[in-house]
């Protein structure tokens, strides 16, 4: 039987198709191997990308320091809390409700919001609500909870360690993209080009598990930290200003408070703040106006300082000349009245200054100086233009000088508007021998790598509106305002203060007219001390405080001014004048102390006590390692000497200590300290007997043992004095 071959067409077609596919694949393989491209995709580059790992090398934004190198704005480590939800992963969130209950006690989010986020489906990982950029201490609290599935992503955040501290000067930052910070307000914004950092990068070849290959081909771009900014602000003086303003704000609930402390010799601004204020860490800001430089208003009688200076400079002021107070009549206008409406009868020009007589200053403007000469001096004092301070958004007031009534009211501070910083600049001429100093806040900007100074501001004379002789005469008269006149509440025991009160009327925005009622004014004081050689110039203004019937407008202003001025003078080691006199009398018997470093503490203590000194030894060691005051200091019997030995130091009881002694203690322990009030120490934040640790922060409250009685009857609660 013959076998016949039968061709299976179905199998043949299939074989043919597979053969064609095979040759296509082989052809495609050789094409790719030869060209190394797949439809414009560079396979070599694609492989490089797959093998290469990239890491960001974080840089830090520049730090902002005060004039002594204390950081007031800096980058600190932070952590963002994440939660793994994928149940296939070894550690994940097992019980969202329980985890949320624990986390809500630490994070800034409610329990329900956190639980909702931890209960999401089909997600591998989520960021926990309220867990963005938490502190290291909060991270440690969460770690102790031992919640499965919780992890932390390290980051950096901008931090302002003093909280509400010159916020309108320093400003704050915003985040742009992941871990990228840019200035958004204040100096953080205007100096952003200096402060801004540049992150670096690291790339290397690795296997699929991230392990470096033998030839990793590392490429490193180094990070560049931002430049550091040094300000003229003094942390201690600024803290005293902030605390005293907080106290007045809480007690009197005014619309606004403005405070500025300046060095009149240089124009350096040592402190500046407003109320309302905000905490840049929380950014709870409602108004973006820096009132100290951007809010022109009628200054009231502090303007009389400059009218007085002009009259003295022109030789038309005679302090012993008399005039009739009460009213000053001018043709075709309503008469000018003194703030008490009836005046004080016939009095001398000096008594008119002491009583803040509007009639006197109208007379000086119209009869003695003349309007043109007065305007010329107001311009010499810079009251017609911005100061040029190195802060953003400065505005200038406007000299209202069209009609005769406006020229008269300008002479005593009504109608014309100026800013607080304009008044500060003008007043430096009074305090600084006739030389008017331009105010500034930025000392220098320094590159942290090579220490190169990129920007530096130095004291700059803005004009010489009056002579040294005139400035001294003005200060002598302004001292009598404080000792005999409307400035009595601003006396500071031991220090001679020269200054001028102000009570300005406020225009009601709704009616367009001056507001009326008890306390419906801006109360202010411009003061300098010590009078003969002023080291500090302080301006405080309080807008419409809530006053009781028995309270005067000077109350909240003097609370701030006297606290700031006295504590700042003591902090700067400006001795009270009565103490200077006492020291001069016993200078021959002043005590010189030795350097006791390395000596037995018991022996040093005995020797000092024999010299009549109070001695406090800190530490558990037996040898002295440091002392305050230092060796060879000329001291008076009974002064406190602090010796420090090695070992732990227990916190002493500071009750009854003077500010000077508290500062000695903070210096020898190298801890930050802030003070509240004046007088002698009454409360302390660190408990007596507790062991002092690095980075401890000490707050000490001071109280006066007895408030002196002050006659305040010469200042009214409303109107323009």
To the nearest 10°, report the CA torsion of 506, 509, 513, 519: -40
Q: Check residue 598 and give its pLDDT.
A: 86
Domain 587-703 has CATH 3.30.1360.120: no
Q: Which residues contact 189 (CB under 8 A, 6 or more apart)?
A: 171, 183, 392
636-659 tens-digit pLDDT = 777 889 999 998 899 999 988 888
Q: Which of 327-336, 444-453, 529-538, 664-673 has the lowest mean pLDDT?
A: 664-673
User: Own/partner pairs for 48-52, CB < 8 Å, 24+ apart?
Assistant: 48/205, 51/205, 51/206, 51/207, 51/213, 52/203, 52/204, 52/205, 52/206
Whether 274 has a pLDDT exceeding 80, the answer reads yes
pLDDT band at 34 (very low <50, low <70, confident <90, very high): low
> What average pLDDT does the segment 282-292 reach?
91
CA distance 643 to 661: 13
In eight-state DSSP terms, residue 386 is -
Q: What is the pLDDT of residues 135-191, one digit of tens each?
A: 888 889 999 999 998 999 888 889 999 999 999 999 999 876 656 788 899 999 999
Confidence bin at 52 (pLDDT 50/70/90): low
Mean pLDDT along residues 484-512: 89
pLDDT higher than 70, residue 46:
no
442 close to 166: Cβ distance less than 8 angstroms? no
Identify the CA nearest to 720 among candidates 258, 356, 346, 345.
356
Question: In degrees, to the nearest 5, what angle opens at C-alpha 601 toward C-alphas 597 and 603?
Answer: 105
pLDDT at 438 over 50: yes
Q: How confident is the model at residue 609 (pLDDT cuts 50, 70, 90)?
A: confident
pLDDT at residue 43 greater than cutoff 80: no
The dihedral sign for the CA sequence 177, 181, 186, 191: negative
SS3 33: helix
Two tokens at 647? 């070992």
- DSSP structural state of residue 365: I
- Residue 280 in contact with residue 406, Cβ under 8 Å? no
Instruction: Give the C-alpha separation, 255 to 230, whole Å.
Output: 32
In the predicted model, is pLDDT for residue 85 greater than 50? yes
Q: Which residue has the tokens 């094409």?
A: 31
Confidence of residue 712 (pLDDT cuts 50, 70, 90): very low
Q: Give me the pLDDT at residue 70, please.
A: 92
Q: Any idea which residues carry the catalytic annotation?
A: 301
**Of 408-412, 437-441, 567-571, 712-716, minimum mean pLDDT range:** 712-716
For residues 493-501, give the mean pLDDT: 95
Q: Name the percent of the chain lying above pLDDT 70.
A: 86
Closest by CA to 71, choosing from 62, 63, 60, is: 63
Q: What pLDDT, on the 0 to 100 scale, is given for residue 715?
A: 39
Q: How confident is the model at residue 335 (pLDDT cuts 50, 70, 90)?
A: very high
Question: What whole-number distance in Å separates Cα of residue 324 and Cα of residue 348?
Answer: 9
Better pLDDT: 430 or 636: 430
Q: What's the mean pLDDT in 395-409?
A: 95
Q: How confident is the model at residue 258 (pLDDT cuts 50, 70, 90)?
A: very high
- For residue 47, the SS3 value is helix
How is residue 374 annotated by DSSP?
H
If one compares 72 and 5, the residue with the highest pLDDT of the two is 72
Is the distance from CB of 641 to CB of 668 less than 8 angstroms? no
Residue-level pLDDT at 674: 80
- Judged against a pLDDT cut of 70, whether residue 303 lies above it is answered with yes
The mean per-residue pLDDT over the stretch 555-572 comes to 95
How many other CB atoms are there within 10 angstroms of residue 17's CB atom?
10
Q: Which sequence spans correspond to the domains of the chain?
A: 9-39, 56-231, 236-577, 587-703
The dihedral built from the CA positions of residue 125, 130, 133 and 138, taken in this order, carries a sign that is: negative
Q: Give 498-509 as a DSSP string.
A: EEEEEEEE-B-T
Categorize the per-residue pLDDT at 78 as very low, low, confident or very high, splitting at 50, 70 and 90: confident
Whether 710 has a pLDDT exceeding 50, the answer reads no
Which pLDDT does position 434 carry in this prediction?
Answer: 97
Give residue 224's pLDDT band: very low, low, confident or very high (50, 70, 90). Answer: confident
Sorted by sequence, the CB contacts under 8 Å of residue 66 that are 6+ apart come out as 72, 230, 231, 233, 234, 235, 238
Q: What average pLDDT score do residues 529-546 get?
A: 96
Q: Given a cut of 50, is residue 348 above it in pLDDT?
A: yes
pTM of the model: 0.73
Range from 290-299, 304-313, 694-703 carrying the lowest mean pLDDT: 694-703
Task: Output the average pLDDT for the chain.
Answer: 86
Say yes or no to pLDDT of 386 above 50. Answer: yes
The pLDDT value recorded for residue 59 is 80
CATH topology of domain 56-231: Penicillin-binding protein 2a (Domain 2) (3.90.1310)
Averaged pLDDT, 71-82: 90
Average pLDDT over residues 264-269: 98
CA dihedral 72, 74, 76, 81 (to 10 degrees): 90
Banded pLDDT at 604 (limits 50, 70, 90): confident
pLDDT for 680: 85
Tokens of 624: 């002295």
Calpha distance 585→191 (Å, rounded) = 52
Architecture of the structural domain at 236-577: 3-Layer(aba) Sandwich (3.40)
pLDDT on residue 711: 33
Q: Residue 249, SS3?
A: helix
Rounded CA gap, 501 and 542, in Å? 12
- How many separate helices (H) and strands (E) can be counted in the chain? 21, 33
pLDDT at 505 over 80: yes
Dihedrals φ, ψ of 446, to 5°?
-125, 130
């Amino acid at each position: 039987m013959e076998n016949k071959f039968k061709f299976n067409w179905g199998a043949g077609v299939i074989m043919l198709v597979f053969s064609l596919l095979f040759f296509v694949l082989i052809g495609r393989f050789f094409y790719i191997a030869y060209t190394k491209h797949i439809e414009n995709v560079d396979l070599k580059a694609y492989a490089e990308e797959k093998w290469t790992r990239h890491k960001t090398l974080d840089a830090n934004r520049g730090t902002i320091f005060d004039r002594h190198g204390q950081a007031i704005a800096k980058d600190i480590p932070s952590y963002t809390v994440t939660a793994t939800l994928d149940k296939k992963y070894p550690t994940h969130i097992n019980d969202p409700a329980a985890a949320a209950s624990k986390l809500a006690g630490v994070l800034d989010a409610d329990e329900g919001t956190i639980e909702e986020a931890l209960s999401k489906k089909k997600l591998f990982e989520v960021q926990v609500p309220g867990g963005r950029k938490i502190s290291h201490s909060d991270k440690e609290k969460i770690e102790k909870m031992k919640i499965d599935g919780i992890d932390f992503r390290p980051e950096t955040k901008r931090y302002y360690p003093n909280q509400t501290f010159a916020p309108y000067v320093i400003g704050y930052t915003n985040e742009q993209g992941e871990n990228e910070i840019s200035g958004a307000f204040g100096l953080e914004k205007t100096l952003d080009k200096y402060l801004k950092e540049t992150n670096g990068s690291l790339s290397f070849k690795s296997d699929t598990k991230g392990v470096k290959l033998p030839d990793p081909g590392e490429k490193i771009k180094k990070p560049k930290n931002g430049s550091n900014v040094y300000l003229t602000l003094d942390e201690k003086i600024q803290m005293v200003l902030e605390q005293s303003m907080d106290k007045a704000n809480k007690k009197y609930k005014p619309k606004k408070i403005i405070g500025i402390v300046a060095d009149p010799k240089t124009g350096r601004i040592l402190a500046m703040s407003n109320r309302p204020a905000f905490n840049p860490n929380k950014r709870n800001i409602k108004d973006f106006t820096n009132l100290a430089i951007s809010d022109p208003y009628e200054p009231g009688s502090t303007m009389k300082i400059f009218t007085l200076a002009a009259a003295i400079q022109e030789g038309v002021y005679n302090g012993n000349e008399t005039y009739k107070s009460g009213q000053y009549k001018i043709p075709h206008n309503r008469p000018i009245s003194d703030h008490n409406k009836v005046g004080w009868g016939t009095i001398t020009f000096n008594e008119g200054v002491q009583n803040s007589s509007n009639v006197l200053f109208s007379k000086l403007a119209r009869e003695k100086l003349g309007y043109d000469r007065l305007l010329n001096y107001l311009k010499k004092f810079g009251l017609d233009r911005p100061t040029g301070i190195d802060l953003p958004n400065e505005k200038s007031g406007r000299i209202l000088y069209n009609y005769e009534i406006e020229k008269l009211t300008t002479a005593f501070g009504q109608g014309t508007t100026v800013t607080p910083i304009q008044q500060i600049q003008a007043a430096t001429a009074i305090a600084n021998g006739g030389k008017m100093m331009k105010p500034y806040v930025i000392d220098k900007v320094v590159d942290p790598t090579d220490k190169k100074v990129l920007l530096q501001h130095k004291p700059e004379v803005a004009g010489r509106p009056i002579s040294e002789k005139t400035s001294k005469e003005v200060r002598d008269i302004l001292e009598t305002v404080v000792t005999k006149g409307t400035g009595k509440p601003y006396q500071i025991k031991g220090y001679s203060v020269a200054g001028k009160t102000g009570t300005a009327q406020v225009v009601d925005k709704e009616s367009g007219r001056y507001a009326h009622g008890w306390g419906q004014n801006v109360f202010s004081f411009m003061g300098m001390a010590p009078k003969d050689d002023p080291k500090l110039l302080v301006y405080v203004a309080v807008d419409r405080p809530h006053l009781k019937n028995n309270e005067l407008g000077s109350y909240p202003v003097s609370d701030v001014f006297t606290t700031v001025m006295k504590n700042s003078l003591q902090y700067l080691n400006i001795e009270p004048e009565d103490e200077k006199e006492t020291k001069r009398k016993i200078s021959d018997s002043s005590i010189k102390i030795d350097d006791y470093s390395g000596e037995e503490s018991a022996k040093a203590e005995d020797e000092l006590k024999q010299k009549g000194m109070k001695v406090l030894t800190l530490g558990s060691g037996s040898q002295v390692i440091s002392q305050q005051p230092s060796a060879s200091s000329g001291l008076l019997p009974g002064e406190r000497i602090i010796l420090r030995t090695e070992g732990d130091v227990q916190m002493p009881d500071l009750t009854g200590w003077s500010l000077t002694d508290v500062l000695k203690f903070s210096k020898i322990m190298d801890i930050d300290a802030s003070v509240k009030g004046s007088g002698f120490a009454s409360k302390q934040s660190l408990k007596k007997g507790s062991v002092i640790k690095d980075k401890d922060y000490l707050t000490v409250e001071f109280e006066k043992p007895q408030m002196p009685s002050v006659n305040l009857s010469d200042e009214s609660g409303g109107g323009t004095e």
